[in-house]
Structure 1
Amino acid sequence: MQIAQLWIYPIKSMRGCSVSSAILTHEGFYLDRRFMLLKVTESKLENMHVTSFPQMCLFHPSIKENTLEITYRPPGSTPSPAETIEIPLDPENFENLDKVDVNMHGSPTTAYNMGEKYNAFLSKCFGFQVVLAFWGFNPRSVLGNLPNRPSNQGPKAQTAITKVLSSLPLIGPMLEDDNTKIAFNDCAPYLVISEPSVADVSTRLPEDVSCDLTKFRSNIVVRTSEPAFSEDFWSELTFSNEAKLLLTGNCGRCASLTVDYETGKNGTGKDGGVFKALMSDRRVDAGVKYSPIFGRYGFVGKGGEGKVVSVGDEVWVSGRNEERTRFYWPGLST
């Protein structure tokens, strides 16, 4: 197989950036999901996700060296008057910024308010007050599916034998798991989909409509001759640089697939029927029995951090499950 596309999403729930190469880290691709937006309400700061705030898809990010350029293109606008702002991808002295508490799916962390310059620009575009939060390298705990853990156990689950082995000076470090933390990703650092599965979805839409794969917000798109949805059973991928991606859980899809990326509204686009089409036969995970499955969550394997993967690289399925895994995350899974 080959890597067909690579995607990084610097600001959670905004459009992604298609890249030719990406660096593997335990928290996800370098620069992925290091910012997120929070709506200011009278009582709290509300997490902003494209499902509830579909206008987030009207912001177009691009990475230019160490700067993130955000261009706002509302419906009917032309490139020339588009509003743009540049955001440092590695903010200096961010520790001196005001701290904000962020809790995603019951997994809390501390982030940093990027300040009035950026908040004012984004607030003007949205029409209400928002805060741009930088993750500040304070990762969140993964509460669900992890490599080498039962699907119904979180990161604290250990057998008595594992606890004893972990206490031994020589063996303990070998068992340490770096895959228990993420940034502003939902449930895992990586998401993998395949081209045949995208093509299958297109056949379910009207004849003149193709499925927009960017709506699936994957990090890695794989080109393969395997049938559609074969990835349901993949447990491990190996890249040509010998880095491994450990696939642990299925991605249950939500109504974000109905967002029209042209208008920034729900249900106005020709491909708005993707979610309904998948509901017919893709509710295949009892852990999210009310959601259709599309794609697999993954974690970088031991020794893979810091390695680079590129579009065109070969990739192999180096592990398969006999049965589909069951998604687990307290408060999210069924």
Structure 2
Amino acid sequence: MGAAGSLALAGLSLPVLRLPAQPRPRWLGVAALGLAAVALGAVAWRRGRPRRRRRLQQVGTVAQLWIYPIKSCKGVPVSTAECTAMGLRSGHLRDRFWLVINQEGNMVTARQEPRLVLISVTCDGDALTLSAAYTKDLLLPIKAPTTNTVHKCRVHGLEIEGRDCGEAAAQWITSFLKTKPYRLVHFEPHMRPRNPHQIKDVFPAKGRIAYPDASPFLILSEASLADLNTKLEKKVKATTFRPNIVLSECGVYAEDSWDEILIGDAELKRVMACSRCMLTTVDPDTGIMSRKEPLETLKRTSPFLQMCV
């Protein structure tokens, strides 16, 4: 599938528009599993024939856009992004198109290795740079040599391929984490993606994802996050929840009521409520997992915190 639309920040003022209720259209894209703590809706982008624009209501503003090239590693803030069926894209950066795996081919995330959140990723031309404190930077080509092994990997029980990024990447990640031998793999366009419909049947049957948990987009509301922080002794950041799109100028938990929204020319539909996992208890600044907050507070209070798109 091609792109559903593009997102661009102009002074952090890209409006989010709510579409009025209407008969369910045919949806081609799919939504994401919610952020770290609470139930939220997943959203799919729609691509169809041009039609007369319905009356819209502005419900918020896009404040930030984030791409997470390597699953569980630091996000990259971007000012513009293309909204594709498999997540945000900005230049060579694709959201969760790289994955750390163990010797058995199983995904490794911050749930098992919390210090993954301390690895930064930058892109310059056709190369990625991996950085971490007290560790020499590693420069990697965006496209691994075709002679590199293609691994059969598993992400949440579903098989998917990934091309090995080479021995230097494997040694760098293994040396930084200092626990077990790991490798880095990259999803390439010709490879067969995972189908989130096999995870939850509410997702579109033709949905496609690479290494995200279940969907290519995740939205976070600043207002909902601020409300959560009033209940926490230690405040948490948006990066705790790893959103792709951060919204401002909307009410607390207003996203709970949005079934269809328009951002730029990307039309998104919420398809499920979702709850969050232990990864949200990993401090993105220290890589330490508490296994408690903010999950314990969310269980007692906030009905929704993020919206999966």
Structure 1 counterpart of 2:114:
54
Runs of at least 5 residues in structure 1 that lack an aligned partner in the other structure? 74-80, 146-150, 157-176, 285-292, 299-334
Provide, for residues 12-34 of structure 1, a one-character-per-residue CA deviation record: whole Å limited to 9, x for no partner. Answer: 01111111111111100121111
Structure 2 counterpart of 1:274:
294
Structure 2 counterpart of 1:294:
305
Q: Any idea what SS the aligned residue of 1:244 has?
A: strand
For the 8 Å contact 1:8–1:16, the answer to whether it is kept is yes
1:155 and 1:58, CA in 2 relative to 1: closer, same or farther beyond 3 A? same
| Alignment of structure 1 residues 224-263 onto 2, 5 Å | 224-225=249-250, 227-240=251-264, 242-263=265-286
For the 8 Å contact 2:162–2:187, the answer to whether it is kept is yes
CA displacement at 1:152 relative to structure 2: 4.8
Give the structure with higher Rg (CA).
1
Provide, for residues 78-126 of structure 1, a one-character-per-residue CA deviation record: whole Å limited to 9, x for no partner. Answer: xxx542112222x0543x3211112222322111111112111111111
Q: Any idea what SS the aligned residue of 1:182 has?
A: coil
| Alignment of structure 1 residues 1-334 onto 2, 5 Å | 1-30=60-89, 31-40=94-103, 44-73=104-133, 81-89=134-142, 91-94=143-146, 96-127=147-178, 128-137=180-189, 138=191, 139-143=193-197, 152-153=201-202, 155-156=204-205, 177=206, 180-206=207-233, 209-225=234-250, 227-240=251-264, 242-267=265-290, 273-282=293-302, 293-298=304-309
Provide, for residues 291-326 of structure 1, a one-character-per-residue CA deviation record: whole Å limited to 9, x for no partner. Answer: xx531222xxxxxxxxxxxxxxxxxxxxxxxxxxxx
Percent identical pairs in the alignment equals: 26
CA displacement at 1:245 relative to structure 2: 2.0
Q: Any idea what SS the aligned residue of 2:112 has?
A: coil
* CA distance in 1 between partners of 2:269 and 2:121 (Å): 29
For the 8 Å contact 2:260–2:269, the answer to whether it is kept is yes
Deviates more, 1:15-24 or 1:101-110: 101-110
The structure showing larger relative contact order (alpha-carbon pairs under 8 Å, at least 6 residues apart) is 2
The one-letter code sitting in structure 1 at the alignment partner of 2:177 is: F
* CA distance in 2 between partners of 1:28 and 1:102 (Å): 20
Runs of at least 5 residues in structure 2 that lack an aligned partner in the other structure? 1-59
For the 8 Å contact 1:57–1:264, the answer to whether it is kept is yes
Q: Any idea what SS the aligned residue of 2:255 has?
A: helix
Provide, for residues 203-252 of structure 1, a one-character-per-residue CA deviation record: whole Å limited to 9, x for no partner. Answer: 0112xx43211011110001123x21111221222123x22122222331
